[in-house]
Amino acid sequence: MVLSTLFQLMTIGALLYARSCTDIGWLRNLTLFLAVADLITIPFTFAVLRQRVREIEKGELEEAKKY
């Protein structure tokens, strides 16, 4: 999870750096759009992880009730 988020942040940095190196208008807008779209996914990744951990804990509790 941490590596995935770190990779996303590195990708955002690379896209913003590429945006600063180009003067083509549509390409600057595209790299900005891709960076923002990648940034938006990070909170959803944490939400899914939290939900998955809860499912695993719930399953472990149900298994423990059997004994």
Q: Are 33 and 18 in contact (CB under 8 A)?
A: no
Tell me what percent of the chain is helix, strand and coil, each rounded to the nearest 5. 90, 0, 10
pLDDT exceeds 80 at position 4: yes
Render pLDDT for 5-64 as a digit per residue (tens, 0 to 9). 899 999 999 999 999 998 898 999 999 999 999 999 999 988 988 888 888 888 876 776
The whole-number pLDDT of residue 38 equals 93
Q: What pLDDT is recorded for position 55?
A: 87
